[in-house]
Amino acid sequence: MIHQILNAYNLDAKTQIEILEKIIMSSNVLHEALHRTKTSDIKEYYIGAGCIAQTVWNYLSNNHLDYGIDDIDFVYFDKDNLEDSAEDEVIKRVGELYSDLQVRIDVKNQARVHLWYESSFGYTIPPYKSLEQAIDRFPTTATAIGIRLGKDDKFQIYAPFGLNDVFGKIVRPNKGQITEEIYNRKVEKWLGKWPDLKIISWNN
């Protein structure tokens, strides 16, 4: 399996997904997070972004699987209730669900991101029409990924750019929404933790 994982960049998508599942379920934190969320009444959600890609990078680098991971991104989509108070309630519920995992949880209703994006990043974006469209706009191809457990604990993965960049430890900008400045800040931060990442410059 180690040989296969180290060469996962060259494998077919089905095998990559199987290997990704083995790695993610080897992480006590992500394993617990995925199973616990399934017991909640939150239906349209994913756990994803950096915590998924970085867990794979850690596995490939023989790091502890939790090394360098700042938080777990928990994204959901509720277009029928865009009030702060509704999102705060979900944040509270998810926080209680994960209270003993000793990791910060970043919970966001992607249906309301457009309401605060300009104040945080300096420019406006249109509302997302779905949770998947939000993941389509995540800052890098390797971190544009979401995972949840479906029936019979079967992995459900949404990865619009595939998994080659995840397994290849390639950081490539997804220019659909972010700016070069945002991308370069992420690159600098990640290189400090995973110095063997292969960085694709913004202008490539």
Say what the pLDDT of residue 3 is: 45
SS (H, E, C) 5-33: HHCHHHCCHHHHHHHHHHHHHCCHHHHHH
| pLDDT for the residue numbered 6 | 53
**Tens-digit pLDDT string for the chain (204 aa):** 444 455 566 678 888 999 999 999 999 999 999 999 988 888 899 999 999 999 999 999 999 999 999 999 999 999 999 999 999 999 999 999 999 988 899 999 999 999 999 999 999 999 999 999 999 999 999 999 999 998 888 899 999 999 999 999 999 999 989 999 999 999 999 999 999 999 999 998
Bridge partners, residue 113, by sequence: none
pTM score, whole prediction: 0.92
Q: List C-alpha distances in Å: 84 to 79, 87, 108, 122.
A: 12, 5, 10, 20
Q: Residue 2: its pLDDT value, please?
A: 46
pLDDT at 127 (0 to 100): 96
Q: Can you give the pLDDT at residue 115? A: 96
- Candidates 96, 80, 105; CA nearest to 40 is 96
